């Protein structure tokens, strides 16, 4: 478990983040938490199909980075991407609708849980092949540099990704060309079903390798949204200033198994309980209180989020399945699927 860092003494007078941003971080984390819990419930009712990979326990990373992003920044994530998608502002019914593979879904049921994409929100896709999106994110950053834009590309991935070749190719490439991309490793200690330490040569799978590419070794408490937010701001400022990429390893823990088929029984007894003591939602509620934010304000946001989950669920349950005529649309850029005349 990550050692909690010494926090500054909290008082409204020394709040570098500010109440509005804190409440945004609170809301984003709650949206992810409650929406993901609902996704799990809907799976048990056989309404969420296929597979799904939840980020319960990892909400602070998605929320912290998204809160530091501008609307024109681009984010790339993995199949465990509900959190990152919601955090960028994608409406809940579009996400749940895609998980339920309804016509109201983000991609009208053509993508599914592992491929959430919303270009309008800068959500450049969720990638189900481990590591593939790191070089793709590098390309997005190259475009920004090439066209003289100052948006930043952020790419989220798991600890398991650090052992695939694309991770190393992408890092080397981004450093060589000094591209405005921020690599974010969500180290939840497990590569699918296997403890990352058992199959990785170094203790910190991302940060220990940063030096090999001339990057700083950055390890943060991924369950502390404030720390994530501050780290993101620093990395984004560096990228926007033309000073190149960063690699950040966020220590965290997923409360559920790898995917919904996995109860996580391989985890040592007591490990989950210890991490739940450091649950990002719990940590953040206490933080808000430390900064003197009234319980009523904190609770009102939670109630509003819960109501939004209910509303989105009802919309999705009532939504039709996608029409069969979209089956053959958008294979090619002319909107169709014809490969011959």
Partner 1 sequence: MAELTYREAVAAGIAQEMERDERVAFLGEDVAAAGGVFKATVGLLERFGPRRVIDTPISEQAILGAAMGAAMTGMRPIAEIMFSDFLAVCWDFPANEFSKARYMSNGQIKLPLVVRCGNGAGSRFGAQHSQSVENWAMAIPGLKVVAPSTPADVKGLLAAAVRDDDPVMFFEHKSLYALKGEVPDGEHVDQLGVARIVRPGKDCTIVALALMVHRALAAAEKLAERGIEAEVIDVRSLVPLDTRTILGSIARTGRLFTVEENPRLCGWGAEIASIAADELFYDLDGPIVRITTPHIPLPAADNLEDIVLPTVDRIVETVTRSMA
Contact residues toward partner 1 (CB under 8 A) are: 74, 76, 106-108, 110-111, 115, 117-119, 124-125, 127, 129, 132-144, 146-147, 153, 165-166, 169-170, 172-173, 176-177, 326, 329-333, 335, 337-341
Q: What is the dihedral of CA 279, 280, 284, 285, to 10 degrees?
A: -40
The distance of closest approach from Cβ of residue 35 to partner 1 in the complex, given in angstroms and rounded to an integer, is 21
176 vs 286, beta carbon nearer partner 1: 176
3-state secondary structure 156-170: EEEHHHHHCHHHHHH
Write down how long the chain is: 341
The distance of closest approach from Cβ of residue 169 to partner 1 in the complex, given in angstroms and rounded to an integer, is 4
Q: What are phi and psi of 267, to 5 degrees?
A: -85, 140
144 vs 206, beta carbon nearer partner 1: 144
Angle between helices 19-44 and 92-99 (to 10 degrees): 20
74 vs 260, beta carbon nearer partner 1: 74
Q: Which residues pair with 250 in a beta bridge?
A: 186, 220
265 vs 333, beta carbon nearer partner 1: 333
The distance of closest approach from Cβ of residue 341 to partner 1 in the complex, given in angstroms and rounded to an integer, is 5
175 vs 219, beta carbon nearer partner 1: 175
Taking the C-alpha atoms of residue 38 and residue 48, their distance in angstroms, rounded to an integer, is 10
Collapsing DSSP states into helix, strand and coil, what is residue 122? coil
The distance of closest approach from Cβ of residue 120 to partner 1 in the complex, given in angstroms and rounded to an integer, is 8
The distance of closest approach from Cβ of residue 238 to partner 1 in the complex, given in angstroms and rounded to an integer, is 20
The distance of closest approach from Cβ of residue 209 to partner 1 in the complex, given in angstroms and rounded to an integer, is 16
Which letter does DSSP use for residue 121 in this model?
Answer: G
Collapsing DSSP states into helix, strand and coil, what is residue 266? coil
167 vs 275, beta carbon nearer partner 1: 167
Sign of CA dihedral 220, 222, 226, 231: positive
Contacts of 262 (CB under 8 A, 6+ apart): 192, 193, 256
67 vs 141, beta carbon nearer partner 1: 141
The distance of closest approach from Cβ of residue 266 to partner 1 in the complex, given in angstroms and rounded to an integer, is 28
26 vs 76, beta carbon nearer partner 1: 76
The distance of closest approach from Cβ of residue 129 to partner 1 in the complex, given in angstroms and rounded to an integer, is 5
Element of type H or E holding 72: none
Collapsing DSSP states into helix, strand and coil, what is residue 127? strand
Of 22, 13, 104, 18, the residue nearest 283 (C-alpha): 22
Rg of the chain taking only CA atoms, in angstroms: 20
């Amino acid at each position: 478990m990550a050692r909690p860092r010494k926090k500054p003494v909290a008082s409204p007078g020394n709040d570098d983040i500010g109440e509005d941003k804190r409440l945004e971080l609170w809301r984003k984390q709650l949206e992810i938490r409650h929406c993901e819990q609902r996704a799990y419930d809907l799976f048990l009712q056989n309404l969420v199909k296929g597979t799904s990979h939840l980020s319960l326990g990892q909400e602070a990373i998605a929320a912290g980075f998204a809160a530091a992003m501008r609307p024109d920044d681009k984010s790339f994530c993995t199949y465990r991407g509900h959190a990152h998608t919601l955090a960028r502002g994608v409406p809940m019914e579009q996400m749940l609708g895609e998980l339920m593979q309804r016509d109201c879904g983000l991609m009208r049921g053509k993508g599914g849980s592992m491929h959430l994409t919303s270009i309008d929100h800068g959500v450049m896709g969720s990638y189900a092949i481990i590591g593939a999106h790191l070089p793709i994110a590098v390309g997005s950053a190259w475009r920004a540099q090439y066209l003289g834009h100052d948006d930043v590309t952020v790419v989220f991935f798991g600890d398991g990704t650090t052992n695939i070749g694309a991770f190393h190719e992408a890092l080397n490439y981004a450093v060589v060309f000094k591209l405005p991309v921020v690599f974010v490793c969500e180290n939840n200690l497990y590569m699918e079903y296997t403890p990352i330490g058992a199959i990785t040569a170094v203790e910190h799978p991302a940060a220990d390798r940063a030096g090999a590419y001339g990057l700083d070794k950055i390890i943060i408490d991924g369950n502390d949204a404030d720390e994530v937010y501050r780290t993101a701001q620093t990395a984004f400022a560096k990228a926007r200033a033309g000073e190149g990429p960063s690699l950040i390893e966020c220590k965290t823990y997923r409360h559920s198994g790898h995917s919904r088929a996995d109860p996580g029984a391989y985890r040592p007894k007591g490990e989950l309980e210890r991490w739940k003591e450091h649950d990002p939602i719990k940590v953040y509620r206490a933080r808000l209180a430390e900064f003197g934010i009234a319980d009523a304000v904190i609770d009102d946001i939670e109630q509003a989020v819960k109501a939004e989950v209910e509303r989105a669920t009802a919309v999705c349950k009532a939504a039709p399945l996608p029409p069969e005529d979209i089956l053959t649309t958008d294979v090619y850029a002319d909107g169709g699927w014809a490969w011959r005349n």
